[in-house]
Amino acid sequence: MEKMPFRPELDTHMETLHTDVTTVISTDWRTGLPVLSGKQVALRELRQSDAAPLFAMLTSEEVARFISPPPSTVEGFERFIAWTLRQRTAGTYVCYAVTLQGFDTAIGIFQVRETEPGLVTAEWGFAIGSPFWGTGVFQESAELMLEFTFETMGVHRLEARAAVLNGRGNGALLKIGAVQEGILRKSFLRNGRYLDQVLYAIVEDDWRASREAAAETTHAKVH
Ligand SMILES: CC(C)(COP(=O)(O)OP(=O)(O)OC[C@H]1O[C@@H](n2cnc3c(N)ncnc32)[C@H](O)[C@@H]1OP(=O)(O)O)[C@@H](O)C(=O)NCCC(=O)NCCS
């Protein structure tokens, strides 16, 4: 999602929500996000203490170049985090913090927002601090997020947009099985220029088929 749905200028809530919950186990993601655990990464709900590390990770030129401008201060990130928790409670949006297994520091985020009522269709977006690019953190996090989105949130079609000029963003989407569906001409205003974007989608049936194929390959290698 190149365009982050958070609009600081429209957010009138002055207080920030202080959550120091480390692990929320819940059958309903609207009341608290379950931890998604992989080999290399653990994805968890955002908390206020993530504001400073996320400010450090996500405001560099190379990370922010092709996405909506992230909040420009630590306080701005605190307001963003409080907003994400309210949207999650409303059931229209989730934002996960990416952490490395065994470390609690947030190094990136994955967002999913409803684009059709009932979460039939949703759009996702992600940003990871550049020291962790090319390390496998993105791929494992994305696989965990896809499972959560299709299995737990019940999304049927997950869209993404990447500026045509965003080489890494396009490469990242292609390698996790997103299909290019078209070009949205001059659809994204960044630094005073209207940029073309590629529209991608992963549909639930394709995701299930590719997961089954991967499981069969693993099974065949073991036996
Ligand atoms: C998007 C992002 C999360 C991906 O994480 P990452 O660690 O860089 O992703 P990976 O390295 O696993 O995958 C990127 C792929 O694109 C490829 N790639 C890099 N530059 C490329 C280019 N100019 N053109 C095409 N592909 C490119 C890489 O080789 C890699 O593929 P490989 O693993 O098969 O070699 C990260 O780059 C990021 O946070 N970018 C800034 C935020 C952003 O643009 N988000 C929106 C994305 S739509």
**Pick the residue with more confidence: 145 or 7?**
145
At residue 221, the pLDDT reads 77
Our answer on whether the CB atom of 175 is closer than 6 Å to any ligand 1 atom is yes
């005073």: which residue's tokens? 192
**Residue with CA closest to ligand 1 atom 47:** 169
At residue 214, the pLDDT reads 86
Our answer on whether the CB atom of 170 is closer than 6 Å to any ligand 1 atom is yes
How many other CB atoms are found less than 10 A from the CB of residue 57?
23
At residue 10, the pLDDT reads 65
In sequence order, what are the residues at sequence separation of 6 or more whose Cβ sits closer than 8 angstroms to the Cβ of residue 174?
180
- What are the two backbone dihedrals, phi and then psi, of residue 191, each rounded to the nearest 5 degrees? 50, 40
Global pTM? 0.90
Q: The tokens of 140 are what?
A: 């494992």
Residue 17, pLDDT above cutoff 60: no
Distance linking the first and last C-alpha atoms of the chain? 41
Q: What integer best gives the mean pLDDT of the chain? A: 91
In sequence order, what are the residues at sequence separation of 6 or more whose Cβ sits closer than 8 angstroms to the Cβ of residue 153?
29, 94, 112, 119, 122
**Residue with CA closest to ligand 1 atom 13:** 172
Instruction: Point out the ligand 1 atom lying closest to the alpha carbon of residue 2.
Output: 46
Q: How many angstroms separate the alpha carbon of residue 65 from the centre of ligand 1?
A: 13
How many other CB atoms are found less than 10 A from the CB of residue 156?
15
Share of residues in the chain with pLDDT > 90 (%):
82
pLDDT tier at 125, thresholds 50, 70, 90? very high
Q: What's the sign of the alpha-carbon dihedral 128, 78, 162, 116?
A: positive
Q: Is 141 helix (H, G, I), strand (E, B) or coil?
A: helix
Pocket of ligand 1, candidates 112, 168, 196: which has the most ligand atoms within 8 Å of its Cβ, to mutate? 168
Q: How many angstroms separate the alpha carbon of residue 223 from the centre of ligand 1?
A: 34
What average pLDDT score do residues 49-78 get? 97
Paired sense of beta strands 193-203 and 157-163, if any? antiparallel
What average pLDDT score do residues 112-119 get? 95
Residue 18, pLDDT above cutoff 90: no
Our answer on whether the CB atom of 126 is closer than 6 Å to any ligand 1 atom is yes
Our answer on whether the CB atom of 131 is closer than 6 Å to any ligand 1 atom is no
Q: How many angstroms separate the alpha carbon of residue 174 from the centre of ligand 1?
A: 9
Q: How many angstroms separate the alpha carbon of residue 82 from the centre of ligand 1?
A: 28
* Cβ atoms of residues 2 and 161 within 8 Å: yes
What average pLDDT score do residues 157-181 get? 98
Q: The tokens of 2 are what?
A: 């190149």
Residue 25, pLDDT above cutoff 50: no
Q: How many angstroms separate the alpha carbon of residue 169 from the centre of ligand 1?
A: 5
At residue 23, the pLDDT reads 41
Share of residues in the chain with pLDDT > 70 (%):
89
Residue 89, pLDDT above cutoff 90: yes
